[in-house]
Structure formats: structure tokens, C-alpha cells
Amino acid sequence: MPVLVMKFGGTSVATLDRIKRAAKRVSREVANGNDVIVVVSAMSGETNKLVGYVNETSPMFDAREYDAIVSSGENVTAGLMALTLQEMDIPARSWQGWQVPLKTSSAHGAARIDDIPTTNINDKFGEGMKVAVVAGFQGLSNEGRITTLGRGGSDTTAVAFAAAFDAIRCDIYTDVDGVYTTDPRITDKARKLEKVSFEEMLELASLGAKVLQTRSVELAMRFKVKLRVLSSFEEYDPNAGTLICAEEDIVENNAVSGVAASRDEAKMTLVSVADRPGIAAAIFGPLAEGGVNVDMIIQNISEEGRTDMTFSCPVDQVARAEAALAAAKERGDVNFEALVSDKNVAKISLVGIGMRSQSGVAAKMFKTLSDEGINIKVIATSEIKVSVLVDRKYTELAVQALHDAFELEKA
Amino acid sequence: MPVLVMKFGGTSVATLDRIKRAAKRVSREVANGNDVIVVVSAMSGETNKLVGYVNETSPMFDAREYDAIVSSGENVTAGLMALTLQEMDIPARSWQGWQVPLKTSSAHGAARIDDIPTTNINDKFGEGMKVAVVAGFQGLSNEGRITTLGRGGSDTTAVAFAAAFDAIRCDIYTDVDGVYTTDPRITDKARKLEKVSFEEMLELASLGAKVLQTRSVELAMRFKVKLRVLSSFEEYDPNAGTLICAEEDIVENNAVSGVAASRDEAKMTLVSVADRPGIAAAIFGPLAEGGVNVDMIIQNISEEGRTDMTFSCPVDQVARAEAALAAAKERGDVNFEALVSDKNVAKISLVGIGMRSQSGVAAKMFKTLSDEGINIKVIATSEIKVSVLVDRKYTELAVQALHDAFELEKA
């Protein structure tokens, strides 16, 4: 029998009534002839409450105890979902991570999934069970301790189950009804995408479209899991939401699929760095060790053996970056005249797999921004993305102008 | 190193501050040179909240899902207690039931403990861990599912760990400071007992002194675990609370240790039953099958081949008892003229192992009640107990009079 994975996030299971609504969606898929694996998050608010307890008790907490504590919210929802389905006469039972067992690395708080044996659950499907309800976000380490996959980890749980059980699709039910051409709060012209490729979704997810955990998209791409994002608050519609799928499943592409904006960026420039082989490693090695997530990197042309090096990072990591670079200078590993930090920038990105075959996207982007009087501070490009840093105050204006220029409101 | 078991009930871990207070008590016992096993309940209110969710979702719930859900509260407290101890620089970690694993029968909601392997925890004690924090109330069935031991089951968890680890003592921290000669709300002459025997505690526990779960006392008696009940809200005192121990550890006994009162009793009389061999089985078989907990049984003398049969049971089981007996009469299994139910009775009991060697306790009890004008409806005795049923309105008066007559305020 085909297996379908359905994942319900915290807002979709926030109350007993909402759990019942979610269960009705599950029952429809069972009636359609599927065996269903339901992955649930904690009731919304629960995980935050537990994280609050942990932080108040022990600011530098033991991550193993953190995981044992915060994973309990998902266990409650899994049991309640199983009971709700049973009340609807659907044979169902719950599984906690260690019962599957969903085996992970021992990196508590951010564990990687190693293996999902299918025997236990498939045996029950064989005995007539129709729905396996799985507590998301959690797993079991080799040491026999509970691990968690990081915030949003239930998305990754769902995709991993879909891969392990060779599911026909993985439906992610959330509080938005799909992936949009841009943030609908910025422009009401934002249009829901019917389909988007894994590659585009990865860029969008990491650029601030917080619909899906980035790792879950990576995993779906690797194992070719058809992912669908849809709202648990809309009426049932078999074609609802946005399908995230392989490029070959998308017949025709616009050059640009979406505009993403990320506000919490900072730009840092090392002025007059000695330009010698190994200088990039000397700069970015210490930053990586210091836990700074460097995003864009630009090296200007060299003059008289010296150059300027600019990079961007999340704004809350500026202090960390400054400390790491000051220490490197102190040790004599790197020599620069000054470090200039600009904490008032935003990153605006155009994303689209169609860019590969259609030229002129970047040029049109720059002209559009220029026409609006928006100065571009840094440019970076990849095969399917053009990103620029601009003053943060221009975020909305830039997104609206680009959305219009590329006519993203049209399918 | 000696192992001490300390159990903290829901009110003792109701907030992060209280968990900290409890952890301080644990730290003192560690400083005294003990390895400590701490058994925790859920933060007070949590289990009720989860039980509420289950009942609302599914009135005739699957007990396996019930157990998976309601056991999560203890997991949270266990992790928080471990973190709190770590913050005090005490090496500690948490164990959930399945991690020990605490193996139980598959009677979900009321599972019996089969085995507690000591290897995992002892290995960690060997590596320098000082405190194992165990989530109470829960275990693991042979089918790999989470079980619970019934309400108050954390007491039983604690005693079972004390037995398995051959602990020097099992301290039950609760919101009362010990076992009293009677309910202090009925008479302010009630005196805290320094020591009480397992047998007496069993009678007191089952008679309504709700300090300890009855099963935990049975288990302590079987494995000769020294149990101490004490308050987590009083200043630290190594001799606090009441010690529940074997009879031979109590040097001298009063004839009577305590007076217990149980209000929610009913008396039922089958009038004019045919008195023939097998008649008791014909009556009490159907009652047992109907789920009626029959307590006292009195058969009056027989006249002309007929007799009256009286028994007592909890008042909320009267309807069930009437239905079971009506059905038995219908089937012709038992023949009686009438069934008279009296729902307005209370059971007053004197308990004391000294009764075995000191006569006249029952006679003195009857005279005391008679002097107060209290009519006795039913009498039942065991080796260490005399119980009577009286009108419920006399409960307080009877307890006060007996407490005075036997001078229980004196040690």
C-alpha cells in the first residue's frame, strides 16, 4: 500500500480541536487508500515553555538533559493524535523517537539522522494499522540517550521518514498555505507558487523564507522526496499548497521564481589587508572557529600589494567577528588597517533556476534598484541566485520594485 | 558507597525554586557520603492536565497511549533536577523508565514492576556520577511500550529502586511531615509518630491516611526497605519525619498506634438469604466480577435455614453492587428477600501491632463509643486492627473520643 507522510507543526496541533481537524485530514488520506505516517510537533508554546525552564535552571546547560526535557512536548501530541484517530475508528498508534528507533548522531541539540529502520512500523502496517504517529524532532543516540534535531527539526523528521518508507509524498501542514514569490507582508502582489524546485527552495529557505527547515529541503533533494507545503487551516483541496520537487518535474520556468529579503545582515570590511597567498584562509579560518556564519565574500582589486576584503554575516554575530579578527591581528596572522562594520544592511535576493538559461537577470535587477535610487553595497551571485546588500531601510521598496519588474505576480 | 533513595512528590517539585530546594537536600546527602538515586514526580498539576487532555480526547482511551502521554511530566522534572544538580557541581544525569530499563508487566495504567537492572546506573556511579535522577511512575513493557504504575506510582518506583540497589533508606519527601496518630484536621491532639511498622502503615494507608501509595508499603515490607516519610518544606533535620520499618526495629509498642477514619463507606445487607454451603461464593463472586471492592463481611446467625449477610464497600460502588446482586438473583444463583443499602456510614479503625499482646483494646473501644452515644453497626477485627462502621455524622466525635481514650497524644 502506498505510504504518505503528513507533518503537522505546532500551530496545527495547538489545541485538542486543532488536533481533531488535523486527524480529519489524515482520515481522508486513509480513505484514499494510503498507509499514513503522521509526524507531529509539540503543541505550540510547549517547546518554548520547556526551553525557558532549561535556560532558567542552567544557562550553560548539559545538552543531553536539554534534549530529554524539550522532546517531551512531541510525545504528548503523538499520543493525543493516536487517540483522536482511534476515536475515528482508524487503527493508529504512537511512536516516540527511541521506539522507532530513529537513530542519530550524538550531537545533542542538533543531531543528524543516521538511520530509520522500517521494520517495527511496517510490521504494524502489515497487521492492519493504518496510521503511525511519530513524535517529531527527536531521536536516539548510540549511547541510548534522547537527541533532538534542532528547532524546526520535525520537518526533517518527516522528510527522513518519507525517504525511509519510500513515501509517495511528504505533506508539511503549517500556518501558511504555501511558498510565495515573496513575503506577502511586504507586497500584496505576492503570488503563491504552485511548484518550486528543491534548489530554489533551498535558496529561499536559507534567505529567510521560514516555511521549512533548510535541512529538510536538503534531505528531500538528496532522496528525491516530493514535498508539499500547505495550510492546515484551509478547506481540504488535493491540489493545495506548493509542491517542492525536482527540477525535471517542473515543465517551464520563469527566469525568477521569487524575491527573498533578509533584514538581519551586517557588512564588515577589512581595510588595507596585505594581499598575499593564504590571506583568505588567515581571515576566514578564525571567523569560522569563532562561530561566525560568513555569507557573502568580496575581495576588491589589489593595489600596491594591499586590498580591501568585505564579507557579510548575521548582525548578531558582529561582536564575535570583531573579537575573532582582533585576536588574529594580535597573533600576527593577519594585518589590516581598520575593520569597518555596517550593521544597517539587508540582503535582497532573486532566486530562479531559469536564470541558468536566461541572461540579463542581474543587469535588470541592478537597473531596477538604481531607478529607485537604491545604492548597492555588495553583489554576490550563484547559478540560480543574485544577492545584493542594500541599506536596511530600502528593504520593502527593493522587494516591491523587483517583484513588479520581473512580473512575479503573473504565473 | 552506600546508596540512598530520595523521592520528591509533585508539590515538592512544583516550581523551579522548589526543585532547587529539593536539590539542596540531595546535595547534603551527597556531602554525607552517599550515592543518591532521586525519584521525581511531575510538577504538580502537570499530570492532571495531561489526564484531562486524554479524557477529553477519548473517554474510553487506549491505555497504552494514555501511558505514553501522562508519563511525559516526570521526564521534564527528571531533566530539570539533573540540570539543577549539575549547576551545584554535582555530577548527575536523568534516566527515563525505558532507559533504566524499569521493566514492568503490560497492565497499562496499573503495571507491576518485574525487574530493575542495576548495571547502567551502577556503571555511572562507578565513573564518578553522584546522583541518578529517575523519572517516577513509569516503566517499559515487554512489547517496548511505556507503562505507568497508577496514581501515586512514584512512591512505588522509589521503593523498588531502594530494593534493587539495596539502599540504606528510602526517603519520601512530601507535603506532610510524617504519619500521625490520626488526621490532624480532626483533632489537634494528633501526634506525629516517630516510627511505625510496615503492617500498621499498610492498614493506615488502606484506611485513608493518604501519605503513601499502599503498594509502595507492601513492596517495602517484602524487601525490608527502610522507608521514611518527611516534608520537603521543613528545615533539614536528619531525624525528621516518620520511619516506616520492620516490627523488630521498633523497641516498644503502644497497643494502639493510630485511629483511622474513612468516610466514603456504605453498608449493604442481604435480608433472609437461604443459608446453604456455597452461599458466600454465590454472593461475593458476582460482586468481585462486577468490580465491587468488598471490605467487611458479617454473617449473622442462621435461623430456620435463612440468614442475613452484611458487607461494606466504597459508597460510589453501591449501584454497581446492587446491579450485580440483582442479576445474580435473576439467574437464580442467590435467593434473598431484600437488599438494604445504607450510604451514610463511616469506618473508624484502631490500628496497632501491640494489640497482638495486649488484650482489651476492642472492649475499650466499644465502651468509649457507647459512652458517647455512638451506635456500632458492624464490627470487624484483624490481628492488628479493630474496625467499626458508625453513622457518618459521628466520624469526628468517634475519632476524638478514641484518640483521648487511648491517650495517643502521649508517646
The four Cα atoms A139, A145, A150, A155 give a dihedral, to 10 degrees, of: 10
Q: Is B50 on the interface with A (CB under 8 A)?
A: yes
Structure confidence at residue B138 (pLDDT): 97
Q: Whole-angstrom Cα distance, residue A394 to residue A345?
A: 9
Predicted ipTM of the assembly: 0.82
Please, which residues 251-310 of chain A have a Cβ atom closer than 8 Å to chain B? none
Q: What is the 3-state secondary structure (H, E, C) of A354-376?
A: HHHCCCCHHHHHHHHHHHCCCCC
Q: Are the Cβ atoms of A145 and B66 closer than 8 angstroms?
A: no
Residue type, B142: N
Concatenating the DSSP letter of every residue in A115-169 gives E---HHHHHHHHTT--EEEEETTEEE-TTS-EEE--TTHHHHHHHHHHHHTT-SE
pLDDT for position A190: 92
CA–CA separation, A13 vs A40, rounded Å? 8
Exposure string (b/e) for A112-123, b if CB count within 10 Å is 16 or more? Answer: bbeebeeeebee
Chain Cα centroid distance, residue A89: 36
- What distance in Å separates the CA atoms of residue B110 and residue A348, rounded to the nearest whole number? 59
Interchain contact, B53 vs A80, CB within 8 Å: yes
- Tally of CA atoms within 13 A in the half-sphere of B178 that contains its CB: 18
Residue B207: per-residue pLDDT:
65
Per run of 10 residues, the mean pLDDT along chain A (length 411 residues) is 95 96 96 97 95 95 96 97 98 98 95 96 97 98 96 92 97 91 91 92 74 88 94 85 90 84 92 86 90 86 84 93 94 91 95 86 93 92 90 96 94 77
pLDDT of A7 reads: 98
d(CA B205, CA B216): 10
Asked whether the beta carbons of residue B65 and residue A99 sit closer than 8 angstroms, the reply is no
Check CB contact under 8 Å for A68 and B94: yes
Architecture of domain A259-405 in this structure: 2-Layer Sandwich (3.30)
User: How far is the C-alpha of B77 from the C-alpha of B11, rounded, in Å?
Assistant: 12
- Domain spans of chain B, in order of start: 3-175, 259-405
Low-confidence ranges of chain B (pLDDT < 70): 206-210
Give me the amino acid identity at A343. Answer: K
Q: Which amino acid is at A251?
A: V
Cα→Cα distances A215→A112, A176, A348, B281, Å: 10, 19, 22, 67
Considering only alpha carbons, which residue of chain B is nearest residue A144?
B99
Predicted local confidence at residue A211, as pLDDT:
79
Superfamily name and number for A3-175:
Acetylglutamate kinase-like (3.40.1160.10)
Which residue among A58, A64, A145 places its CB closest to the CB of B87?
A: A58
Q: What per-residue confidence (pLDDT) applies to B209?
A: 59
Do the two domains B3-175 and B259-405 of this chain adopt the same fold?
no
Distance (Å) from the C-alpha of residue B393 to the closest C-alpha of chain A? 43
Widest pairwise Cα distance in chain A: 79
CB distance A173 to A22 below 8 Å: yes
CB B75 to CB A53 under 8 A? no
